[in-house]
């Protein structure tokens, strides 16, 4: 079977750190091109300034991985789907729920694969955590997702603009895990969004959620963390406490702790290849819907200006 010819659109930190190595390590794919108006891409790979140029005159591709800011992703995905090109959407899958639903519907009509890729769901501890919780009664959940924005998102002005999500850009990773491992549906009750006086998106957020069984869920998001970073989910159950730490890579159960290799992006590309070969799509909007609910229902408070 011939490899899937894929182009990476948007050559920034996440593309270089994760997408390009994952593609290189998966024989189901061959990197046909990269696309960016700014970064020239890796040496030896055809490079174009725009997706229009790739489609019209570049090397033939079967799929694209969209690693651009979410605000421009709808137009790019639509362009690819019209040409019958399979689309991988880096998280968050779009700037609004409506455009992601529109893309999902379009992909279904033209028979092309669309994959909303929640990479944190492929962290090593997530699948066993989901299996363990499926047989437990959830009593309480605590999420602490605190990191230093200057370390992880240096100079990324788009992330502070409408549609860039602010602290929910990393926070949505925690929500993608939460909605995947919880046996019952989760919804928002209230939120407080802390927005720097010189920015349009929050630098911190405090969320109160619950599941349909009544279990209380508290989420603490903050981009002002210095020193050790915190990416932890603690679930108290009738059979003891489960903890996912290091963004889901480390799972602690009453029976012990498991540390496993980080295979998030290799897992994503294995999933994408299987979806393409099977003629299917995977577009879960639950994590983005919770973020939208936070912006819809959250109380906004102004905090000190933020400067990179």
- Residue 33's domain is classified under what CATH number? 3.40.50.720
Question: Can you read off the two tokens belonging to residue 65?
Answer: 């991985």
The predicted structure's pLDDT at residue 93:
96
Of 33-47, 130-144, 162-176, 284-298, which range is least confident? Answer: 33-47
Instruction: Say which residue the tokens 């140029």 belong to.
Output: 53
Residue 44, sorted as left (phi over 0), alpha (psi -120 to 50) or beta, turns out to be: left
Mean pLDDT of 241-250: 96
From the list 13, 43, 82, 91, the catalytic residue is: 91
If asked whether residues 33 and 73 sit together in one domain, one would say yes
If asked whether residues 138 and 216 sit together in one domain, one would say yes
The predicted structure's pLDDT at residue 47:
95
Mean pLDDT of 209-219: 97
If asked whether residues 157 and 299 sit together in one domain, one would say yes
User: In terms of Cα–Cα distance, which of 188, 182, 194, 197 is closest to 218?
Assistant: 188
Strand partners, 115: 88, 282
Contact 131, 186 (CB under 8 A): no
If asked whether residues 141 and 51 sit together in one domain, one would say no
Number of domains comprising the chain:
2
The predicted structure's pLDDT at residue 10:
96
- In this prediction, residue 152 has a pLDDT band, given cuts at 50, 70 and 90, of very high
> What H or E segment, with its residue span, contains residue 63?
strand 63-66
**Residues shown for the chain:** 308
The predicted structure's pLDDT at residue 257:
78
* pTM of structure: 0.95
If asked whether residues 39 and 87 sit together in one domain, one would say yes
91 is a catalytic site residue? yes
If asked whether residues 151 and 298 sit together in one domain, one would say yes
Share of the chain above pLDDT 70, in %: 99
Question: Can you read off the two tokens belonging to residue 149?
Answer: 């924005």
Q: Is residue 27 part of a domain?
A: yes
Counting Cα atoms < 13 Å in the Cβ hemisphere of 75 gives: 7
The predicted structure's pLDDT at residue 40:
87
Mean pLDDT of 140-162: 94
Q: Is residue 84 part of a domain?
A: yes
Count of helices and strands (H, E) across the chain: 10, 15
- In this prediction, residue 41 has a pLDDT band, given cuts at 50, 70 and 90, of confident
If asked whether residues 156 and 187 sit together in one domain, one would say yes
The predicted structure's pLDDT at residue 38:
86
If asked whether residues 254 and 126 sit together in one domain, one would say yes
Q: Is residue 308 part of a domain?
A: no
The predicted structure's pLDDT at residue 11:
94
Mean pLDDT of 84-88: 98
The overall average pLDDT reported for the chain is: 95
Q: Is residue 191 part of a domain?
A: yes
Residue 38 is part of which domain span? 4-119+265-283
Break the chain down into helix, strand, coil percent, rounded to 5. Answer: 35, 30, 35
In this model, does residue 97 exceed pLDDT 90?
Answer: yes
Q: Coil, strand or helix: which one is 214?
A: coil
- In this prediction, residue 298 has a pLDDT band, given cuts at 50, 70 and 90, of very high
Neighbours of 78 (CB within 10 A): 14
The predicted structure's pLDDT at residue 36:
94
Question: Can you read off the two tokens belonging to residue 78?
Answer: 């639509």
If asked whether residues 10 and 87 sit together in one domain, one would say yes
């Amino acid at each position: 079977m011939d490899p899937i010819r894929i182009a990476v659109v948007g050559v920034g930190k996440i593309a270089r750190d994760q997408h390009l190595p994952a593609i290189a390590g998966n024989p189901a794919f061959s990197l046909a091109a990269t696309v960016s108006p700014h970064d020239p891409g890796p040496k030896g790979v055809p490079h174009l300034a725009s997706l229009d140029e790739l489609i019209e005159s570049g090397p033939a591709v079967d799929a694209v991985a969209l690693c651009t800011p979410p605000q421009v992703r709808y137009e790019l995905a639509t362009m690819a789907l019209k040409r019958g090109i399979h689309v991988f959407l880096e998280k968050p899958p779009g700037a609004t729920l409506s455009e992601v639903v529109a893309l999902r519907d379009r992909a279904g009509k033209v028979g092309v694969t669309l994959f909303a890729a929640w990479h944190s769901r492929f962290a090593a501890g997530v699948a066993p955590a989901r299996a363990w919780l499926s047989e437990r009664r959830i009593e309480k959940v605590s999420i602490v997702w605190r990191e230093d924005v200057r370390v992880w998102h240096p100079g990324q002005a788009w992330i502070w603009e409408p549609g860039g999500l602010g602290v929910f850009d990393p926070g949505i990773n925690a929500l993608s895990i939460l909605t995947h491992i919880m046996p019952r549906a989760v919804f928002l009750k209230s939120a407080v969004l802390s927005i720097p006086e010189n920015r349009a998106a929050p630098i911190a957020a405090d969320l109160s959620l619950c599941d349909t069984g009544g279990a209380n869920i508290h989420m603490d998001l903050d981009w002002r963390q210095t020193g050790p970073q915190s990416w932890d989910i603690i679930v108290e159950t009738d059979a003891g406490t489960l903890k996912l730490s290091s963004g889901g890579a480390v799972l602690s159960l009453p029976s012990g702790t498991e540390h496993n290799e980080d295979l998030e992006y290799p897992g994503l590309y294995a999933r994408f290849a299987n979806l393409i070969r099977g003629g299917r799509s995977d577009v879960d909007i639950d994590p983005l819907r919770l973020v939208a609910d936070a912006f819809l229902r959250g109380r906004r408070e102004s905090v000190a200006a933020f400067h990179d």
